[in-house]
Homo-oligomer: A and B are copies of this chain.
């Protein structure tokens, strides 16, 4: 039924700005500030026009955390997330009584893509109560939709959103989406908040047209969590790990401390420098390609097989439950004064 999927737009781009910063050689037009709170890393990025990352100008806040299935951690991330979304809303002049439309992107029937609809299900929606004149003060007017995905509806998602926005006329939109990550370590452990909206090719291989202020004429805040890794990425990462592992073992294996350090998975350490000759020796011609070229080669090989694979953690259903409840809770606190404390 879904066989007509176009694999051409299987790009190697990442949805996470901090991925791009890490792999970019220049930081022209990039302002970046990093804070740590309770083992949670908050990276505040502002991109200016014509930045080196070739990304849209605007704010990108990235929250990195460990394990949201742990109760304490959950509460800490909730606090940080509520705070960061509130600050962003202030920066872009959203007022306490502006009407909000929450949009949950993604396919509720496919677990790693269900984040958006699950957040919508748990959001405190008040617009219909306002309309009958019974909304208490301390609550903002909020509506919420899950427009489905193109494969289910046959309609470009951005068009459904645009048509609803034009009728309902909210003051701003908050879009929730599952992202694809460029690195295994970030899956389900990173939240990105931005005022630049959602751009084509985001998500699990489904191209969607832009959802942004440019298109909708009102501010669009996008909140995204990488929940899958493309098969291409996991292959590329592993080839990389193999080479670093090889290089590391070659260097350290006769030293007394090697066993211990190996336990620390040193090939994940970004500061260790490796020797290009090792790479060539281990990986032959592939070792001479740079990272982007390896990914292109992998993609070239995997795409025609058409297996349309995604890589997720085994406990994905459980984690998506926690993450959606976390975002919904934070949104309810941000949007409704009376929901706080």
In whole angstroms, how far apart are the Cα atoms of A297 and B246 in the complex?
10
Which of B67, B127, B153, B309 is within 8 Å of A234, CB to CB? B309
In the complex, the answer to whether A127 meets B145 with C-beta atoms within 8 Å is: no
A276 at interface (Cβ–Cβ under 8 A)? Answer: no
Q: How many residues of A contact B (CB 8 A)?
A: 91
When each residue 304-317 of chain A gets 1 if its CB lies under 8 Å from chain B and 0 otherwise, what string results?
A: 11011111111111
Which parts of A1-55 form the interface with B (CB within 8 Å)? 1-4, 6
In the complex, the answer to whether B132 meets A143 with C-beta atoms within 8 Å is: no
Q: How far is the CB of A328 from chain B (nearest CB, A)?
A: 12
Which of B109, B127, B143, B280 is within 8 Å of A284, CB to CB? B280
Known: A284-B287, A286-B242. A309 touches B313 (CB 8 A): yes
When each residue 103-132 of chain A gets 1 if its CB lies under 8 Å from chain B and 0 otherwise, what string results?
A: 000001111000000001100111111001
Which parts of A149-200 form the interface with B (CB within 8 Å)? 150-156, 159-160, 162-164, 166-168, 184-185, 187
Mark A residues whose CB is within 8 Å of B.
1-4, 6, 67, 69, 108-111, 120-121, 124-129, 132, 134, 141-148, 150-156, 159-160, 162-164, 166-168, 184-185, 187, 204-205, 229, 231, 234-235, 238-239, 241-242, 245-246, 262-263, 265, 267-268, 280-287, 297-298, 300-302, 304-305, 307-318
A-B contact pairs, 24 of them (CB 8 A): A4-B129, A110-B314, A125-B152, A125-B153, A128-B154, A142-B154, A143-B154, A159-B168, A160-B167, A163-B166, A184-B309, A231-B234, A234-B234, A234-B235, A234-B311, A235-B238, A235-B239, A238-B298, A245-B300, A267-B301, A282-B285, A308-B313, A310-B311, A310-B314
